[in-house]
Structure 1
Amino acid sequence: MKKVVVIGAGAAGMVAASVAADRGLDVTLLEKNHRVGRKILITGKGRCNITSDCDIEELIENVPTNGKFLYSAFYTFTNDDVIQMFNSLGVKTKTERGKRVFPESDKAHDIANALEKQVKNKKVNLVLNASVDKVIAKNNKIEKVILKDKSEIKCDAVIVATGGLSYPLTGSTGDGYKFAKSLGHTIVDTKPSLIGIEVQEKFVSELEKLSLRNIAITVYNSKNKKVYDDFGELEFTKVGLDGPVIKSASCRMKDTTKENYKIVIDLKPALDEEKLDKRIQKDFQKYTNKKFEKALDDLLPKKLIPIIIDLSEIDKDMVVHQISREQRKNLVKLLKNFTFTVKRYRPIEEAIITSGGVKVNEINSSTMESKLVEGLYFAGEVIDVDAYTGGFNLQIAFSTGYLAGYYC
């Protein structure tokens, strides 16, 4: 009987192991942690956004790094298949705004438990606390896996599903890159993706923990060319910006040490400049005999007002009816173009996913098998593919895991 070793019991590894076992193969699933699915438990803030209820083309559009590589994977094991898989395992799902699909319970551990249940039902040999040291090939063909305790597992195929470098406490410490590199594969430089951003503006620390809903952002590069725009939620941290729109924007920013990006926030995207000016005039009329700092109470969150006043260069003690038309117009421009200069990403340990990894043109996109080593397969985040937030990265894990398990 063909022997398969799957390294990593995350989303990709558990699906790969279950599919391979379903084909009657002898499957061993190795996990370095004391339990499976550690990273699944923290996705979607503990709610686990498993996929997106959109068509396949839209799935691919939401993978800015090597999306076309995933055509076969997404069409072979679709988002509908993912939902059906969890339904059959007793996990009911629901679709929320932005086509995001969650377990009805809002509990990520229901997803991890369902995948573990499937692994056990398929009679996979699951080994916990098992750290792999090396993957050995002979004559460009997989031969065995050597564990850190020096024990060996002879096998015909290995599926590397070890994740990337993000959230190392979950076990994602870059082992898969080491295995791939030792077997001749190219590793595209890794960087954080879906990550918060540090900015140069010192005043940002005064906005810490402030969340803004329904704002728009536009990201520009050093040539002032637009590289990304989005609408949704944003939050300020002690050192910068975070939240869904910022995490997605980070996917579109390349090396922040070589490129100077700026993020422009439109605080009132529902109003164009003319309508916003009229709105401010109305507020100014209401507070005509008050100080300027009081005139913004209806328009902005309290924490944001002192910052906007400072940037507007209008004296906070100026009586509202003394503010000139030009000052008011500049205030409008400021609210529509609240600008931050990107300093760097937050550390990769805080990233939701890792960008970079095993080079895709060295992997058969129809099977996930290495083009260099017979019997070597890759699945999930270890591959150089990454997507925006919204369930797309887990869909990548499930789909590539399915292909690897089906063809190994």
Structure 2
Amino acid sequence: MSRVLIVGGGAAGMMAALSAAGKGHCVTVFEKNEKLGKKIYITGKGRCNVTNACEPQELYQSVVSNSKFLYSAFSRFDNQAVQDFFEANGCPLKTERGGRVFPVSDHSSDIIRALSSALEKAGVEIRLHTPVKKLLVRKAEDGPNAIRGLKLLSGEEITADAVVLACGGLSYQATGSTGDGMRMAQELGHSLVPCMPSLVPFHIKEEWCRQLQGLALKNVSAALYIEEKEIYSGFGEMLFTHFGVSGPLILSASSYYQTAAEKLRKKKEKQAKKAGAAAEPLENGKAKAHAYLKLDLKPALSMEQLDKRILRDFEENKNKQFKNAVDGLFPARLVPIMIQLSGIDPEKKVHEITREERKYFEECIKGLTLTIAGTRGFEEAIITRGGVRVKEVNPSTMESRLVPGLYMAGEMLDLDALTGGFNLQIAWSTGYLAGASIP
């Protein structure tokens, strides 16, 4: 039986503790907050989108960064295993649109309760209000330094056979995700991929966007472009805000935006170096290049079908003014904006509208353009992109390749996925594998 210390009482840390305890190890969890799972409480707007009930292939396809690294973790503890775990521990689940899995009660506290109960039954020691300052290593004459234990902020040193770092990333820092785990890993020689906010709302340049604050649109599609190249397209729900746009569809697009922005930054740096000039930096995902979203407000209709629909509406309202003839096409608050963007005089009689004007109006509907000015920060990001470089971690065990006895899991690794329960699945799977791999 080994002495195992878990740093971080979030999703990955709790699952690591349970799997390690399941192997008979003596396990202690150190959490700097006043309770376990503080970030879990606020996920899914307090409902906790615990995983996604998709097929295995879709699970991998929904991971944006380093999906191949997760083959072992997902195969050892997949989305069905997560659902079975919570059901077996007294938390019934339900599946909603898009495969999103939630507790039947719609209360994230039930997820925490199931985990806490399982930890108690497994005999895991929980130490709250206990921040960890640094990791301790055993100096080796031959080979790498092995883990020896950890030192608390209070000065207390605790020895162990293995340590699991599961401290989260940089998103929602009020929950305690302040990059402690990444710092501790870096102190022991690990390198970090620069961190950026991901699954995060967009700032939009168009002023009319802010006039729609609070308006939610369902069943729309969006395509993300950077320098005229399509980076992402998806279908779902979105929300207009006081600064731009948000909602599940937009958050997923932001994952690809950050990845593409980073590639563009590197490309510009390379070009500038070759030309002997300084490159313009992309800071916090704010692209210097032209980046924009194209919204299709009627994705179920082809352009030809939309034209027939509008011709029919125009025929039925041919003697009405344009502003009074398109009510059935959009939500009420969107109507004046679409009229404004069409360039058609709102007082113009429908039968006077030219074919060219009608066609441009249809193009606005099928390709409503929103210019991206950047993203919101870590305080609103659901997940962190970047973190400990996964090449320095064994994907079959989650053990550090640099420091034997050190394991890492969850958001502090350079792993991120789309919205819909996939990021929590990464936490459950990597946490489980880390704990189960400790000899």
Please say whether Structure 1 and Structure 2 have the same fold, judged by a TM-score greater than 0.5: yes
Question: What is the aligned length?
Answer: 407
**Counterparts of 2:311 and 2:22 in 1: how far apart (Å)?**
68
Comparing 134-143 with 25-34, which one deviates more in the overlay? 134-143
1:284 maps to 314
Question: For each residue in 1:29-49, what CA deviation from the matched residue of structure 2 results, as whole angstroms up to 9, or x when unmatched?
Answer: 011110101111111111111
Identity of aligned residues (%): 49
Offset at residue 154 of structure 1 (A): 1.4
Match of 2:148 in 1: 143
Q: Which residue among 158, 172, 177 is the counterpart of 1:153?
A: 158
Deviations 1:152-201 (A, max 9, x none): 21112110111111111111111111111101001101111111111111
Does structure 1 residue 66 correspond to structure 2 residue 70? Answer: no
Quick check: 286-295 or 192-201, which moved more?
286-295
1:162 match:
167
| Larger displacement relative to structure 2 (270-279 or 240-249) | 270-279
TM-score by length of 1: 0.97
Q: Provide, for residues 189-237 of structure 1, a one-character-per-residue CA deviation record: whole Å limited to 9, x for no partner.
A: 1111111111111111101000111101111111x12111111111101
Match of 1:358 in 2: 388
Equivalent residue, structure 2, for 1:402: 432
Give me the whole-angstrom Cα distance separating, in 1, the residues matched to 2:149 and 2:80. Answer: 36
- Offset at 1:393? 0.8
Describe the superposition over 1:337-360 as per-residue Cα deviations: whole angstroms up to 9, x where unpaired. 100111111111111110100000
How do 1:380-395 residues align onto structure 2 when only pairs under 5 Å count? Answer: 380-395=410-425
Q: Which residue of 1 aligns with 2:13?
A: 13
Match of 2:265 in 1: none
Query: 1:160-199 counterparts in 2 under 5 A?
Result: 160-199=165-204
Of residues 314, 322, 337, the one that matches 2:352 is 322
For residue 91 of structure 1, report the CA deviation from its aligned partner.
Answer: 1.1
The TM-score, its normalising length taken from structure 2, stands at 0.91
Q: Which amino acid aligns with 1:83?
A: Q
Alignment deviations for residues 302-360 of structure 1 (CA, whole Å, 9 cap, x no partner)? 21122112211111111222111110111011110100111111111111110100000
**Residue 260 of structure 1: aligned partner:** 290
Q: Partner amino acid for 1:234?
A: M
1:270 Cα deviation from its structure 2 partner: 0.9
Q: What is the SS of the residue equivalent to 1:253?
A: helix
2:113 matched to which residue of 1? 113
Q: What is the aligned partner in structure 1 of residue 379 from structure 2?
A: 349
- Cα drift, residue 57 of structure 1: 2.1
Unaligned runs of 5+ in 2: 140-144, 262-284
User: Which residue, out of 367, 371, 377, partners 1:337?
Assistant: 367
**Coordinate RMSD, CA, aligned:** 1.1
C-alpha distance in 1 between matches for 2:15 and 2:409: 10
In structure 1, C-alpha distance between the alignment counterparts of 2:246 and 2:362, rounded to whole Å: 24
Deviation at 1:7, TM superposition (A): 0.7
CA distances 1:263-300 after superposition (whole Å, capped 9, x unpaired):
00001111111111111122222222222111111111
Mapped to 2, the partners of 1:204 and 1:99 lie a distance apart of 30
Distance (whole Å) between structure 2 residues aligned to residue 401 and residue 273 of structure 1: 48
Deviations 1:92-144 (A, max 9, x none): 11222212222121111100111111111111110001111111213211112
Aligned residue in 2 for 1:45: 45
Aligned residue for 1:30? Answer: 30
Q: Could you tell me which residue of structure 1 aligns to residue 299 of structure 2?
A: 269
Q: Distance in 1 between matches of 2:327 and 2:393?
A: 57
Distance 2:122 2:347 in 1: 72
State the secondary structure of the residue aligned to 1:185. coil
Say whether residues 1:90 and 2:119 are aligned partners: no
Letter in 2 for 1:78: D
Structure 1 counterpart of 2:217, one-letter code: L
SS in 2 for 1:173: coil
Counterpart of 2:242, as a letter, is K
Aligned equivalents of 1:324, 1:83: Cα separation in 2? 57
Q: C-alpha separation between the residues in 1 aligned to 2:93 and 2:149?
A: 39
1:18, distance to aligned residue in structure 2 (A): 1.2
How many Å separate the matches in 1 of 2:426 and 2:329?
A: 41
CA distance in 2: counterparts of 1:257 and 1:350, whole angstroms: 15
Give the SS at the match of 1:114.
helix
CA distance in 1, matches of 2:68, 2:99: 21
Contact 2:286–2:375 (CA<8 Å) still a contact in 1? no
Equivalent-residue separation in structure 2 for 1:402 and 1:271 (angstroms): 45
CA distance in 1, matches of 2:87, 2:337: 49
